[in-house]
Amino acid sequence: MCRLKKLLMGCDVAESGELPYKNIKVHRLMCLELKKFIQRIMHIFSDIESARPRCTSGIEPFCSLHTAMDKAKLLIQYCSESSKFYLVITSNKIQLRFERVRNALELCLSQIENVVPPSLAAKICGIIHDLKNAKFLLEPSEDEAGKVVLDLLRNDISASCSINQLELEALQLAALRLNITSPLDFLKEKRSIKGLLDKVGDTDPTKSKVLKYLLYLLKKYGELVWRHETESILGQHEKPDCQFIKIKPQVKSVLDKAQVDDFSTLEPPEEFKCPFSMRLMYDPVVIASGKTFERVWIEKWFNEGHTTCPKTHMRLDNLWLTPNIAMKGLISKWCLKNGVTVSEPPRQPKPAFLSSRKTSSSLSVASFGSSIDDLCLQTSPMSHRSSDTDCSLDSPNRKIKNKFSCGLSRMKADSLSCQSSTNRHASALASLSKLALRPWGSQCDAVENVKKQLNENDRFCHFSSSYVNPLINFLKDAHDLGDVKAQKDGAEVLLEILSFGRVEIPPLHEDEVCVLVSFLDSEITENVLAIIEVLSGHEDSKSEFVASGILPSILKVLDTDISEFHELAIKILCNLSCDSEIVYHIEYLDCIPKLVRLLEDPILARYCIKIIKVLCTSEETITVVAETSICISHIAKLLEIGTKDEQEDIVDILFSLCNEHAEYCQLAMTESIVPALVDISVNGNSRGQVTALELLLLLECHKEGNASQCSKPDTALNLENSCDSATHRKDNKTSSKSFGFLGRKISRFLHANH
């Protein structure tokens, strides 16, 4: 079994079972369907190898089949390692990926079918037939979870430290459907999202915003959800004979379906009672732990200096009280059914269990009374006799009463102050959309006011895309008037709004882009570069940026000595170079020498390599890169120490140099580049492995004087890249008899170069 099989396949038949099929998080049906075809193809793979399809029409499909198999396995691995929430909200794209992999496998097998013996062709034909009829279906529970989270994203709810019922409902329902119910489940999910964020970096702003919002939801509500689910399970085990409703204020549909039998007894469900007084709650509120209490009692608890939940004894992130409207509705329904009226609790309550408590810093919920005689109920004569319950309380002494009154006043004052602050934020932000209607002095005051409030706290601010254009016009006026302070304030506010996670960037006109470009040589250059960097990542604005003449200005920034400017400028160029129409403009600005100089910076190198790779589609750029000796030396160094994605881009650049220009092959045949290519062909990412192999073969052909017969197999390289997060295992132990002649060629080539 030859060594090259390891390079081509990455795993053998025996190892195919090592894929994490048992750990598939989401899209299990699609993964199992694809797994079935992977195994069937692996079973006949040795037969295909034995057929030795050495002709071009056999080699290219075989390489393509290897790539397609890799993509299939990596797609399954992605569904096993990625975030469940992100997988379900991108389920349509994932489904398309499965179909593309299916189509790629079908295409490769169809081409191989024509160059193998009839008996093997018959087996391949059967697999092709089944591939055509394969269905990749979404599971209903995952589809429902995805729709719930997507609806939440579309609502564009602003960040807040208070509990938002809509967010809580959506997260609980989605978590339930995705079987995320324990602390470990939530921890794994947060780690998965953080991993995706690290991989995305600055390359995909939209994906980054979505991931940050999902992480925000998990951090804010995760503990509430898993504690609620855990208690529900424990409650079912502890009380198997009781069918009381387990209150889930997060899921309204559950509340609406409450059975009549649950309200058929005078004994109210435990969830309707306050854990302090064990009486029906008159004004139920939810605290940060997710537990519900009577407002008066929990206010008294907080006023006494406690910062923990009296039921879970865990420290609270905040002391906010959120009305539990769903709970109140259920209590009202139960009272109406049983003819019971809930009386308002005393404003200075002091139950018996508190009177004996002197120095204890916590309350034992287990010690609370639970008898129906302790309930302060008034029953209607139509259904029950009037209750003779004695609900009198010991009168508290004056000191405790005064202390409680003062504490309650402070609580109300703090609540009103916070509400007032939130209203001020909203009012100040709303003024931005009508800046042009104000006198200049008033405009400056409004922008400065927003800036100050953002510096204090931006969590309560609901940003809107309607603020962007007025702020750019404000900057234009500030520039015309020479008002430097207004320029700084306007730029800071605009950058803060654009940097906010879920603001949709509005389309910009050419004159608005020109305003930003005019600040590239001013006192606010860094902020303006950061603004342009955000805007340049959006397709709608790229053509306007080019039309404004921004490219020469950005390249001029690269000539400065300020490194902070360099990173922003190179990111802007990288964003703009993704557009094929803009690349044409960049080619003629003689930017390669500037980019080569920046290759020495490890932070900037990855962006420079991406730009050079895109520019290498033109003959002029290829010539400049090839004739710049320092460029090749930097590329060789990065090929050894760069990340796998960087290595892939560099191999593409080298292939562009050598594929159409045999005279440049000698540049790549160095002692540092060739060993690095061999290493990438084994340990690189999927596309990097294939391209590295092709480049090695191309260089071998050049040595033998047959470069014209070696061409890039398009099918192998044009297959859709699979998920970014997947990488090859470095410990693959594979061997093969097929393509032995290629392995021998590479061995001779390496031997000759050493």
Tens digits of residue pLDDT in 158-173: 766 667 778 888 888 8
What backbone phi and psi angles, to 5 degrees, belong to 264?
-90, 0
259: Cβ contacts below 8 Å, ≥ 6 apart:
243, 245
379: Cβ contacts below 8 Å, ≥ 6 apart:
266, 338, 339, 340, 341, 385, 386, 387
Q: Tell me the mean pLDDT in the region 486-494.
A: 91
pLDDT band at 267 (very low <50, low <70, confident <90, very high): confident
Least confident of 72-76, 384-388, 603-607: 384-388
pLDDT band at 449 (very low <50, low <70, confident <90, very high): confident
pLDDT band at 354 (very low <50, low <70, confident <90, very high): very low
Residue 265, pLDDT > 70, answer no
Q: Tell me the mean pLDDT in the region 549-553.
A: 86
Average pLDDT, the chain: 73
**540 or 730: which leads in pLDDT:** 540
pLDDT of 259 = 36
pLDDT band at 568 (very low <50, low <70, confident <90, very high): very high
Least confident of 90-99, 103-112, 350-359, 617-626: 350-359
pLDDT of 740 = 40
Q: Of the candidates 48, 41, 29, which has an alpha carbon nearest to the alpha carbon of residue 70?
A: 41
Q: How many other C-beta atoms can be found within 10 angstroms of the C-beta atom of residue 209?
A: 17
pLDDT of 245 = 29
257: Cβ contacts below 8 Å, ≥ 6 apart:
none
Question: Residue 567's Cα: distance from chain center in Å?
Answer: 24
Residue 202 near residue 573 (C-beta atoms within 8 A): no
**453 or 226: which leads in pLDDT:** 453
Rounded distance, CA 503 to CA 349, Å? Answer: 47
Torsion (CA) 628, 634, 639, 642 in degrees, nearest 10: -140
Rounded distance, CA 385 to CA 493, Å? Answer: 65
Q: What is this structure's pTM?
A: 0.43
Work out the percent of the chain whose per-residue pLDDT is above 90: 7
Instruction: Starting at the earlier edge strand, list the strands of the sheet with 284-286.
Output: 292-294, 284-286, 322-323
Helices (H), 90-136: 91-113, 118-133
Residue 368, pLDDT > 60, answer no
Rounded distance, CA 405 to CA 403, Å? Answer: 6
pLDDT of 705 = 64
Residue 61 near residue 112 (C-beta atoms within 8 A): yes
Least confident of 528-537, 674-683, 707-716: 707-716
pLDDT band at 707 (very low <50, low <70, confident <90, very high): very low
pLDDT band at 569 (very low <50, low <70, confident <90, very high): very high
Residues in the chain: 754
3-state secondary structure (DSSP) of residue 284: strand
Residue 529, pLDDT > 90, answer yes
pLDDT of 337 = 76
Least confident of 161-165, 230-234, 441-445, 726-730: 726-730
Residue 423, pLDDT > 50, answer no
**106 or 261: which leads in pLDDT:** 106
111: Cβ contacts below 8 Å, ≥ 6 apart:
57, 60, 61, 64, 715
pLDDT of 570 = 92
pLDDT of 487 = 93
Residue 238, pLDDT > 70, answer no
**27 or 456: which leads in pLDDT:** 27
Residue 321, pLDDT > 90, answer no
Work out the percent of the chain whose per-residue pLDDT is above 70: 69
Rounded distance, CA 486 to CA 524, Å? Answer: 11
Residue 712, pLDDT > 70, answer no
Least confident of 119-128, 393-402, 528-537, 689-698: 393-402
Residue 754, pLDDT > 60, answer no
